[in-house]
Amino acid sequence: MSVKIFKINEDLKEFMPQEIVDLEEKATWGNPKRGVMDLPYAKELIEEHSLCAGCPESAAFRYILASLPSPEDTVIVNSTGCTSLVFPHIALHTVHPLFGNQNAVASGIKRVLEWRFPDKPKDVVVIAGDGATIDIGLDCTLQSFFRQEKITTICFDNEVYANTGGQDSGATPRGMEFKMAPGGKQWDKVPMWQLAIDSGCHYVARLTVSSPKKVEQVVKKAIYVAREVGPTYIHLYTPCILEIGLNSDQGLWEMRQRDKERFKFFEYMTDEAKEVIKKKKEEGLL
pLDDT score for 163 = 77
Helices 212-228, 271-282: axis angle to 10 degrees equals 110
Fold of the domain built from segment(s) 3-282:
Rossmann fold (3.40.50)
Residue 254: is its pLDDT beyond 90?
no
**The sheet that has 266-269: what strands, in order across it?**
93-95, 74-78, 123-129, 152-157, 232-237, 203-208, 266-269
pLDDT score for 22 = 87
pLDDT score for 277 = 98
pLDDT band at 1, cuts 50/70/90?
Answer: low
How is the chain split into domains, by residue range?
Answer: 3-282
More confidently predicted of 27 and 1: 27
The mean-pLDDT minimum among 8-12, 27-31, 46-50, 157-161 falls in 46-50
Contact between 240 and 81 (Cβ < 8 Å): no
Residue 225: is its pLDDT beyond 70?
yes
d(CA 151, CA 149): 6
SS3 content of the chain, % helix, strand, coil (to 5): 40, 15, 45
d(CA 167, CA 181): 6
Residue 18: is its pLDDT beyond 90?
no
| Whole-model pTM over 0.85 | yes
pLDDT score for 3 = 58
Residue 160 one-letter amino acid = V
pLDDT score for 29 = 83
Q: 95: which DSSP letter?
A: E
Tens digit of each residue's pLDDT (9 = 90 or more) over 111-150: 999 999 999 999 999 999 999 999 999 999 999 999 999 9
Beta bridge partners of 94: 76
Contact between 280 and 228 (Cβ < 8 Å): no
**Residue 57: closest CA among 162, 139, 150:** 162
Tens digit of each residue's pLDDT (9 = 90 or more) over 80-112: 888 777 887 888 889 999 889 999 999 999 999
d(CA 46, CA 209): 19
pLDDT score for 167 = 83
Q: 41: which DSSP letter?
A: T
pLDDT score for 201 = 98
* Residues whose CB falls within 8 Å of the CB of residue 67, separated by 6 or more in sequence, listed in order: 34, 35, 36, 215, 216, 219, 220
Tens digit of each residue's pLDDT (9 = 90 or more) over 154-212: 999 998 888 777 788 888 889 888 877 888 888 899 999 999 999 999 999 999 999 99
Tens digit of each residue's pLDDT (9 = 90 or more) over 37-84: 998 888 888 877 878 888 898 899 999 999 999 998 999 999 888 877
Contact between 156 and 230 (Cβ < 8 Å): no
Strand 152-157 and strand 203-208: the pairing is: unpaired
What's the whole-number average pLDDT of the chain? 90
CA of 35: how far to CAs of 28, 44, 67, 204, in Å? 9, 11, 5, 20
